[in-house]
Structure 1
């Protein structure tokens, strides 16, 4: 049988007059449930906010009333219209700031940056102007067929001579973007006998990781090796950011500055600061250098972009330049895997620095430069030494770039004829022998290459625009007829202001360089990629060098050939440090003792630019 449903009737009496728990139909003279609900509606109040404004209320409409707008030009005219003169002034003012790496554009979405490029001027300079749609300007029906309107086709050249001139001009023009851009895997000839170890850092997966980091970063920090900044610099990425991502900030970071003398770091900072903001850095969790400057710069960029919820900072660069070590230094603990070999970082990694600033670690990417060989890849730290089959082929380049005194001090080898003789003596001295007592030169070559990559063998490159102090002093003292006295006095006052600024000391590894190399040379040829050996030879050959410096260099060369005890080595390091401190007072780079600060470098760059403008003025 089915269950019978019965209706439950509330037979309780109401407790008070506004209690709606009562039957709907009652006796005459009493309230029913509908009457009680209506009375409650009358006494219900509106919901207000803390300022007393009504937010919601029953039976109140939220629709806005229809109003009439005054038919005036102020409301219906074009509000954002620019004239031709205003556009030209906008182009001239913003064009001067567009290429400045030290100027930050805060409101990028509201600024029509596409108006900065003049298509006619770009076409006059040899570039491609923005092309309109072809079918819009030249319909197919009016160009070909019965209804064609033009009698002569529009060609790029009107005559054969003009075509030859155009093709010759385009062939003579050197396209730098195509030269430095990485070539596709299918393009060009391949060497079947080339080892795969030289192709590390150039795979499609690594480049994909790099572009992930570039797309996700608001600030891009390119980490360079202070020993060879130009060789570990990727010009292709810099042009890519300037062309396709102008809103991203690029910063250059000179890492491993403790492996070069202080005056070399100063000159590289002055050279690189002309293009992008550059900082000197020494990655160390316990004793870092430049950490406060980098953190202050990141916080400043974070305050400038206060409209963004988060700011991401990506670290890019060659393998084994210290990207992961820089991140560990900023976090003051080990958050990224580090190793003294290239290729330790495989994929990108997010690290939290603050609540708003995030760091992105990227695998090392190798950008091929014109003229680079397999030996250059090994000496830049791109390839792993233990995977080289013939390591002896790359030692000759090391012997050309390092002073013999440093090699004698490191391996106790006084004289050698060539690279094979040097490796033979090193193998016998270190006990690396093969069967039959023959010296194992391949193992000895790997030892030398490992010492080179890990900074045990001192070397450095000078900037391309390096000018000796004596030449700078002669140019400053020589009378110039191209500018007036007021400009000369202003430049001299600015130079004096730079010299009087307080600066901080750069860390330099004790006992790594000889006293003659730690002090700035008095004269040296201004060639790019100059090594420490060339700089020291020019210093010894200069007539302005003092007799004390000559005696110190002779003593250091003599002492490099014999073993040094612990106490004697400590005493010599102290003497070399005192000598370097004394010589730093005579360095006329515009910096006081202690080397450099951000303000001093920027002021020196401005002073050099002012001198160049004065000399080039008619």
Structure 2
């Protein structure tokens, strides 16, 4: 039997939409900047699986001047993939800011974050209570973290609405109490996407972890990227559905038939199957692994690549607008 060889790289897709910067993203960013003087701590969330790709450089400028706690969320979806050296590397990326790795269902993880917030609040000693702001890219787990802090801090039910797709929180929320002593109010905010993603693979990573809506990039394309990453990690993780393969159409066709995702006439529904497969991975049911490299030089390489691929803000906005209009025209044609 022939030895399976996974694809060594994924093709650069120049036609792929690389913008998801919406109107309410800019509005939220502006409002965050205006309220900086009233908050004592910013809790910035990034997805543990994409520690570099879920970085938003807009926050560096808009939120400068306030202490930040960096929280890498959803660590349970990539559990055990970071060794001590790699965790230390990520910690150094953000020095002097504090870094924590979190699973919102892990009481100790949530308690550590809450303890840090309480320590900060005690240092400020605000008689009316401390206000803290939680920020991050879309769907990185901000609202889930807020609810977990509230559950642990004041034993109350969730206050923020959560969902599997980005855009659930669309404006700055009212303050939510997460601690009685000291008194702390946490403010949820909409996820803010970058104006333009410099390369197609980063956009695919963000789509795969759910930072953009599933309608923005063709689901079959996202599933193909997932198949590529699963093969690099361990092709046996999908053995119950298919033998190791690099052919996404064959893979989806077989999975669609076996799981009953069929169209009229009995043909497999490839798009529905792709969404289902991607959803399984997002829930940790098809391997738990990271998509970004982590080593002591990874962050610097990322910044250099980001800078070399950078374009003027005017050009970025024009290209982003053109891509949104083109995507809208395509959807209109498809619905006609």
1:375-422: CA deviation from partner (whole Å, max 9, x where unpaired): 34421312333x36842122221111112111224xx21243511111
Answer yes or no: is 1:270 the counterpart of 2:88: yes
SS of 2:138's partner is: coil
Offset at residue 456 of structure 1 (A):
2.5
Partner of 1:316: 135
Partner of 1:205: 24
Change (3 A) 1:376 1:323: same
How do residues 55-94 of structure 1 correspond to structure 2 at under 5 angstroms?
A: none
TM-score (norm: length of structure 2)? 0.71
What runs of 5+ residues in structure 2 fail to find an aligned partner?
1-13, 152-156, 303-336
Answer yes or no: is 1:360 the counterpart of 2:179: no
Answer yes or no: is 1:395 the counterpart of 2:226: no
Offset at residue 465 of structure 1 (A):
2.0
Change (3 A) 1:342 1:461: same
What is the alpha-carbon distance in structure 2 between the residues aligned to residue 306 and residue 437 of structure 1?
66
Match of 2:78 among 235, 257, 260: 260
Offset at residue 366 of structure 1 (A):
0.8
1:343-381: CA deviation from partner (whole Å, max 9, x where unpaired): 111221121223532101001111134224653442131
8 Å contact from structure 1 (residues 282, 289) kept in 2:
no
Offset at residue 462 of structure 1 (A):
5.6
SS of 2:179's partner is: coil
SS of 1:358's partner is: strand
Answer yes or no: is 1:302 the counterpart of 2:104: no
What is the alpha-carbon distance in structure 2 between the residues aligned to residue 398 and residue 457 of structure 1?
10
Change (3 A) 1:389 1:325: closer
RMSD between aligned alpha carbons? 3.0
Partner of 1:331: 150
Change (3 A) 1:372 1:239: farther
Answer yes or no: is 1:422 the counterpart of 2:244: no
Match of 1:460 among 290, 299, 302: 290
Offset at residue 442 of structure 1 (A):
1.7
Change (3 A) 1:262 1:391: closer
Answer yes or no: is 1:238 the counterpart of 2:67: no
Offset at residue 239 of structure 1 (A):
4.2
What is the alpha-carbon distance in structure 2 between the residues aligned to residue 317 and residue 339 of structure 1?
15
Partner of 2:332: none
Structure possessing the higher radius of gyration over alpha carbons: 1
SS of 1:401's partner is: helix
Change (3 A) 1:271 1:304: same
Change (3 A) 1:383 1:322: same
1:268-287: CA deviation from partner (whole Å, max 9, x where unpaired): 53122212310111112xx4
Match of 2:171 among 347, 351, 359: 347
What is the alpha-carbon distance in structure 2 between the residues aligned to residue 388 and residue 353 of structure 1?
35
What is the alpha-carbon distance in structure 2 between the residues aligned to residue 294 and residue 389 of structure 1?
34
Partner of 1:181: none
Offset at residue 240 of structure 1 (A):
4.0
Change (3 A) 1:347 1:437: same
SS of 2:30's partner is: helix
Q: How many residues align?
A: 269
8 Å contact from structure 1 (residues 268, 462) kept in 2:
no
SS of 2:119's partner is: helix
Match of 1:290 among 109, 112, 116: 109
Offset at residue 295 of structure 1 (A):
1.6
Partner of 1:229: 51
8 Å contact from structure 2 (residues 236, 244) kept in 1:
no
8 Å contact from structure 1 (residues 226, 255) kept in 2:
yes
What is the alpha-carbon distance in structure 1 between the residues aligned to residue 209 and residue 59 of structure 2?
18
Change (3 A) 1:308 1:238: farther
What is the alpha-carbon distance in structure 2 between the residues aligned to residue 265 and residue 352 of structure 1?
35
What is the alpha-carbon distance in structure 2 between the residues aligned to residue 296 and residue 316 of structure 1?
19
Offset at residue 438 of structure 1 (A):
2.2
8 Å contact from structure 2 (residues 40, 120) kept in 1:
no
8 Å contact from structure 2 (residues 70, 100) kept in 1:
yes
SS of 2:165's partner is: coil
What is the alpha-carbon distance in structure 2 between the residues aligned to residue 290 and residue 312 of structure 1?
21
8 Å contact from structure 1 (residues 313, 358) kept in 2:
yes
Task: Identify the structure with bigger relative contact order (alpha carbons < 8 Å, sequence gap 6+).
Answer: 2
TM-score (norm: length of structure 1)? 0.40
SS of 2:258's partner is: helix
8 Å contact from structure 2 (residues 51, 292) kept in 1:
no
8 Å contact from structure 1 (residues 281, 289) kept in 2:
no
What is the alpha-carbon distance in structure 2 between the residues aligned to residue 310 and residue 283 of structure 1?
24
How do residues 427-442 of structure 1 correspond to structure 2 at under 5 angstroms?
A: 427-442=256-271
1:303-350: CA deviation from partner (whole Å, max 9, x where unpaired): 221267432111111111111111111111211111222211122112
How do residues 457-496 of structure 1 correspond to structure 2 at under 5 angstroms?
A: 457-458=286-287, 459-461=289-291, 463-465=293-295
How do residues 490-529 of structure 1 correspond to structure 2 at under 5 angstroms?
A: none
